[in-house]
Structure 1
Amino acid sequence: MTDLVTLAELGGPLAAIGGAAYARHAYPSAYWSTVGMPVSVARLLASYTSTMDACGLTVPPPRWRALAVKAATRREVRPVPPRRGLIRPTSTGLRVRLRLAPGQEPADVAASAERLRHAWGVHAVYVRDVKPGVVELRLVGFDVLRKVRMPRRVADDLLRVPVAVREDATAFVRDYRTVPHELVLGATLSGKSMFLRNLLTRLATQPVVLVGIDCKRGVELAPFAARLSALATDPNQAAELLPALVKEMEDRYDLIKARQGIAPGTPEELITSDIWGLPEDERPAPIVLFIDEVAELFLVATRKEEERRDEMVTQLIRLAQLGRAAGIYLEVCGQRFGAELGKGATMLRAQLTGRVCHRVNDEASAKMALGDIAPEAVYGACAIPAELPGLAVVGDTSGGWSRIRTPYLSLADAAATCRATAHLAPDLPALAPFRPYVPPVPVEDSRPVATPQPVTE
């Protein structure tokens, strides 16, 4: 009996430790909510003042306070840390706001983020400037990019869709109204197609015209044909589709000019320079053009193909330069996009404001994507491991960058979403000749295989 009691006393804690270790690896969110968060909160509360002092984030107290402490208690006056607000737990970490002491700036706290991470036992610490004198610490409890789960509450709108998860546990939102055109680079099996798949299916639920150019015979975009308003599967078809888009852009500019030429005395809100200022009943539907393997549009073998290439590149540059006001946006994907592709490649890349770089085969490819907007992000892109497909580095023209990862979405589920939302595709007569053929879905025959026979004696 004594042995059984001893075994129960030892086996219970060992089972709890083993279960916690398994949950930390297999279910990090559950482990954080039950074990990690209470421990981190206790560390933060117990060591807040000493940690801030060790990080150099404390300042001498005001003179009146120092005199009051000496007069009342005769104790030594200690430096004052930033005033801490309430600790708000989340499903992935903690949030706490700090009111900076006089003479401090957000960069001082950001420089100590790595020290705070080790002191409080969390995966990462990120600093966000809320308002003058106030910063927010976002403590992430575990690696949210290892097993991606999109945040539940993400506000989406027309042409504004969440696509991936950032390393600080927030959603990466693709906003075409803010960043009209984007370049997505990545080697084979890097997750570039998964990014494109998530983006396309998110847009499929909105009244947006989706157009695709897939020169790999349509193997990437053909499964979404039910939702696409136009699809080109080779350079010859792309050479016919691009002039139609340019013509549609010119027609939309004529519509905008007609609105600008209204009579004097018209209210200012009715004067516009893009389609978003038009009345809703006159506004044409926005168009998003997806180009998979853009290098296939540049590669030529004969003089005739070279002339076709120059014409297509010119039309793409026109769409990139002038398409935003007409509601036409570009999503250009490829493995490499450099000057060696030919004339116009660098000029087209300069028009693509957004940059997403997945794992690439060499440093030069990463520089093509991020070197001209966020040089520090190049090293982050080169460090992406092959065993984490979907992991990417996203940069913007402000020089900032962060890591993101796209959640897994099967091709069957994405195709089913496009079939279910096919009725949302706006009618655009200019693209009717390029609408892809969608084979009808076979209907299962509910009749029995064998014809029943009457029972005879």
Structure 2
Amino acid sequence: MTDLVTWAELGGSLAAVGGAAYARHAYPAAYWSTVGLPLSVARLLASYSSTMDACGLTVEPSRWRALAVRATTRREVRPVPPRRGVIRPTTTGLRMRLRLAPGQEPADVAASAERLRHAWGVHAVHVRDVKPGVVELRLVGFDVLRKVRMPRRFDGGPLRIPVALREDATAFLRDYRAVPHELVLGATLSGKSMYLRNLLTGLAAQPVALVGVDCKRGVELAPFAPRLSALATDPDQAAELLPALVKEMENRYDLIKARQGIAPGTPEELITSDVWGLPEDERPAPIVLFIDEVAELFLVATRKEEERRDEMVTHLIRLAQLGRAAGIYLEVCGQRFGAELGKGATMLRAQLTGRVCHRVNDEASAKMALGDIAPEAVLAACAIAPELPGLAVVGDTSGGWSRIRTPYLSLADAAATCRATADLAPDVPALDPFRPYVPPMPVEASGPVATARPVTE
């Protein structure tokens, strides 16, 4: 009987270990909430002081503190670690604030993030500067980019769209008012189209005019035609659409100038330098221009096409330089973007503040997107595996960068969202000639209208 109980206990222990290992691989969020979180908290509390000392994040105590310790405990005075705040568990990890000791800076803690990760048994440690002297440690318990689940709460707003999930389990928000223009690069099947779908469906729910230039005969943007205010499917149509956008931009500048030319006694809050300072009833709707495969606008075969290319590139550069104040924003996508495309390519890229680089075919393409921002981001972009579509490195001209991954969104669901929000498309008269044709949806009859009867004499 004793042997039977022993074997039962051993079998139960092995089953528990096996179940935990399976849950850690198949259901990492559930494993973290039940097993990983308590273990990591226990490690953190038990080894906080020693870990900070090993990472070089401790300082000598003040003279008064040293005297108080010697007088009350008569023990050796040890270095002081940063003061730890309350540990706040989350569904993906932990959050904890540290008050830095005198002489420390956030870069010191960020340099030790990898050591802290191993010491506390978590997937990653990210450091964020909260205010002078205070940093926040965001501990991530598992790889949140392996299976993307967008957070339920995020700070959204007009032209602020949650597009992807960052590696620190926060939402990546595409904020057009903060980063007006963006360059999105990626090889075939890298997830570039998925990023575009999430962005389009997010903007479709807002009163924003969406304009598309898809020189691949519209195979990427045509499914979203019910929500688009304008669509060009070849370079000839794009050569007509871009001047119309430039003219619309000039008209909006005239509107802003008219507001600036008001009477001298007008309050300062009514004087503006962009469309967002205009009264809501006078403010024109913002316009977002999506360009899929921008290289098709640059490639030419004859001299006549070269003249058309130069004209289109000039219009694009003008929109990138002056469009922000007029409420016109650019989203430029392609597989490769550099000086080899032709005259004006480098100048246009310099105006695209945001950069998103998916998996690329060569290191040079990653350098085109991120090389002038952060060299470390280039190495991270080159390390993206083909079996992780949607994974990308995002950065901006401030030098910061991080890894993101876009959640899966089928083309049918994205097209259905655009059909459901078609009535939200604002009226922009300048774009009416370029509005895509949308065939009416067929109506399924529930049954025959009348019953057929034979003709009798």
One-letter amino acid of the structure 2 residue matched with residue 115 of structure 1: R
One-letter amino acid of the structure 2 residue matched with residue 59 of structure 1: V
Aligned-pair CA distance for 1:2? 6.2
Let me know the Cα RMSD of the aligned residues.
1.6
What's the CA shift string for 1:138-178, capped at 9, x where partnerless?
Answer: 10000111111111101211111111111111111100001
Aligned-pair CA distance for 1:222? 0.6
Aligned-pair CA distance for 1:450? 12
One-letter amino acid of the structure 1 residue matched with residue 75 of structure 2: R
Match of 2:282 in 1: 282
Please tell me whether residue 66 in structure 1 is matched to residue 62 in structure 2: no
| Structural mapping, 1:262-411, within 5 Å | 262-411=262-411
Match of 1:150 in 2: 150
- In the alignment, the residues of structure 2 paired with residue 75 and residue 273 of structure 1 have an alpha-carbon distance, to the nearest angstrom, of 66
Match of 1:225, SS state, is helix
- In the alignment, the residues of structure 2 paired with residue 362 and residue 123 of structure 1 have an alpha-carbon distance, to the nearest angstrom, of 29
Match of 1:418, SS state, is helix
Please tell me whether residue 190 in structure 1 is matched to residue 190 in structure 2: yes
| Structural mapping, 1:27-106, within 5 Å | 27-106=27-106
- In the alignment, the residues of structure 2 paired with residue 379 and residue 39 of structure 1 have an alpha-carbon distance, to the nearest angstrom, of 33
Match of 1:376, SS state, is helix
One-letter amino acid of the structure 2 residue matched with residue 305 of structure 1: E
- In the alignment, the residues of structure 2 paired with residue 286 and residue 366 of structure 1 have an alpha-carbon distance, to the nearest angstrom, of 31
Match of 1:258 in 2: 258
Aligned-pair CA distance for 1:452? 11
- The two structures have a TM-score, normalised by structure 1, of 0.96
- In the alignment, the residues of structure 2 paired with residue 34 and residue 55 of structure 1 have an alpha-carbon distance, to the nearest angstrom, of 29
- In the alignment, the residues of structure 1 paired with residue 346 and residue 366 of structure 2 have an alpha-carbon distance, to the nearest angstrom, of 15
Please tell me whether residue 218 in structure 1 is matched to residue 218 in structure 2: yes
What's the CA shift string for 1:161-197, capped at 9, x where partnerless?
Answer: 1111111111111000011100000000010000011
One-letter amino acid of the structure 1 residue matched with residue 371 of structure 2: G
What's the CA shift string for 1:401-451, capped at 9, x where partnerless?
Answer: 111110110111111110111010001111111111112222222227997
Match of 1:86, SS state, is coil
What's the CA shift string for 1:102-128, capped at 9, x where partnerless?
Answer: 111111111111111000000011111
One-letter amino acid of the structure 2 residue matched with residue 362 of structure 1: D
- In the alignment, the residues of structure 1 paired with residue 312 and residue 82 of structure 2 have an alpha-carbon distance, to the nearest angstrom, of 58
Aligned-pair CA distance for 1:72? 2.4
- In the alignment, the residues of structure 1 paired with residue 323 and residue 72 of structure 2 have an alpha-carbon distance, to the nearest angstrom, of 71
One-letter amino acid of the structure 1 residue matched with residue 46 of structure 2: A
What's the CA shift string for 1:222-280, capped at 9, x where partnerless?
Answer: 11001000000100110111111111111111111111111221111111111011110
- In the alignment, the residues of structure 1 paired with residue 324 and residue 318 of structure 2 have an alpha-carbon distance, to the nearest angstrom, of 11
Match of 1:417 in 2: 417
- In the alignment, the residues of structure 1 paired with residue 156 and residue 219 of structure 2 have an alpha-carbon distance, to the nearest angstrom, of 29
- In the alignment, the residues of structure 1 paired with residue 12 and residue 383 of structure 2 have an alpha-carbon distance, to the nearest angstrom, of 42
418-427 or 440-449, larger mean C-alpha shift:
440-449
Aligned-pair CA distance for 1:215? 0.5
One-letter amino acid of the structure 1 residue matched with residue 288 of structure 2: V
Match of 1:324, SS state, is coil
Match of 2:227, SS state, is coil
For structure 2, the residue ranges without an aligned partner over 5 or more in a row are: none
What's the CA shift string for 1:4-61, capped at 9, x where partnerless?
Answer: 6445323322222222112111111111111100000000001111111111111121
3-12 or 71-80, larger mean C-alpha shift:
3-12
- In the alignment, the residues of structure 1 paired with residue 326 and residue 344 of structure 2 have an alpha-carbon distance, to the nearest angstrom, of 22
- In the alignment, the residues of structure 2 paired with residue 31 and residue 409 of structure 1 have an alpha-carbon distance, to the nearest angstrom, of 26
Match of 1:61, SS state, is coil
- In the alignment, the residues of structure 1 paired with residue 318 and residue 66 of structure 2 have an alpha-carbon distance, to the nearest angstrom, of 67
- In the alignment, the residues of structure 1 paired with residue 65 and residue 348 of structure 2 have an alpha-carbon distance, to the nearest angstrom, of 61
Aligned-pair CA distance for 1:377? 1.0
Q: Is the 8 A contact 1:212 1:291 kept in 2?
A: yes
Give the share of equivalent positions with the same residue, in percent.
Answer: 90
Aligned-pair CA distance for 1:358? 0.5
Q: Is the 8 A contact 1:374 1:396 kept in 2?
A: no
- In the alignment, the residues of structure 2 paired with residue 244 and residue 223 of structure 1 have an alpha-carbon distance, to the nearest angstrom, of 23
Match of 1:426 in 2: 426
Relative to structure 1, is the Cα distance of residues 44 and 449 closer, same or farther in structure 2, using a 3 angstrom cutoff? farther
What's the CA shift string for 1:269-322, capped at 9, x where partnerless?
Answer: 111111011110000000000000000001111111111111111111111111
Aligned-pair CA distance for 1:398? 1.4
Match of 1:122, SS state, is coil
Q: Is the 8 A contact 1:40 1:121 kept in 2?
A: yes
What's the CA shift string for 1:326-376, capped at 9, x where partnerless?
Answer: 000000000011111111111111111110001111111111111112222
- In the alignment, the residues of structure 1 paired with residue 202 and residue 245 of structure 2 have an alpha-carbon distance, to the nearest angstrom, of 22
| Structural mapping, 1:229-244, within 5 Å | 229-244=229-244
- In the alignment, the residues of structure 2 paired with residue 74 and residue 304 of structure 1 have an alpha-carbon distance, to the nearest angstrom, of 90
- In the alignment, the residues of structure 2 paired with residue 364 and residue 450 of structure 1 have an alpha-carbon distance, to the nearest angstrom, of 68
Match of 2:228, SS state, is coil
One-letter amino acid of the structure 2 residue matched with residue 427 of structure 1: D
For structure 1, the residue ranges without an aligned partner over 5 or more in a row are: none
